[in-house]
Structure 1
């Protein structure tokens, strides 16, 4: 299946010009982007797999990297890096509640050098996250910026949740992840319109990472017409999902790597590490 994905991805990449695949904001700005957000625009994306593998590549570049799982209703990043989540009331919710908490006690250390995780506990109750404001998240992100070289935010696409819109507000640059789904461009526009109505700049979220591509007859031109930039195109690789089920990183543990998948992941890591 990986070899088939390699062949079909050639056709997909031919549809996307090099100019379309470079984020305009990333190319033109000389700012250092240390807080990077990722939010899904459609079904059939896997942000946790993307962030865990990307985080590993960044850590291998010597960057102290912290992944933050903001999917408070269904956290799963801990499974992808094979760490035991904290008990109820620990981790993300604890540092959100109080500025007196020692972050070092709530951040999970992975088995990989320089790669860390701040996660909600899967045992937390949903209603416990309803009362947080933007200021709570801003304080946590500011603290993480001072502790790590780069922070990767896994942002849920749940606009009424303050942690979703707040993360979009306080990250330096953001990416939408999308698959070949007809609703993806519309979903992106809806979320950006909502964020704009809240007074949040949307220019930082004009880049798209395509995931799980299968060479469908998808209209990539519509994204360009809407002003979005495709910065990476990752093929569907079953082995990557299989490795995730075992708590392994495809980019590290698989000896038979899909060359297109690895090339795009490395290009993303280089892009973020050079800013």
Structure 2
């Protein structure tokens, strides 16, 4: 028979496991060691199978409450999604909640008549985002050149790609076929650029023309990180011009330093 409410042993084990999971970045063995205590208690008859599952359910419920709480930051939501997925799998209590990337990375650059080296750069930027598919989603303008190259690179590594398109009558080139979600804004290209730059949490800019500069200016004016890589003819204030893709990779990973900081603060 399932217990009506968790007993003190269940609550104590859940608290211990929660603390171990929070410290897992510093002590990778912590979560498994705590799980072993629960498993040993089950094997010794100190926990029933229902109580064993109840430990995991308490942990998963706690994570869901923190995700739904007012003021939950993207970092908190990301961390708690992972926590819930881990414990529901570990305790066999059903499927984990769906995990969607929480940070949207816009990639902008030359569209029409894009040089091959810039297309290659866009593809590699997309790959960096796609490899971090559990943390990032790619947002592009949905057309050719850098937009298509970045989307293709991300999809080759299982990434999620969102296209923010101008109205069909204002598209200077065909849409690419690599988007998971395409949003037709019904706007001109320049207005679409404002939507894209406003939507992204951070922007990576390959060399481009006036549209790229517009997107960089809008994002920078909104206080978003803007990282430029490649040979840019114009340098804009508020933009961080990086020496290469290694620096872009470091910036992308640096977005999640705050996750660890939030974990300590919480």
TM-score in terms of structure 1 length: 0.35
Relative contact order, higher structure (CA 8 A, sep 6+): 1
TM-score, normalization by structure 2: 0.36
| Structure richer in helix, relative to its length | 2
Please tell me whether Structure 1 or Structure 2 has the larger radius of gyration of its CA atoms.
2
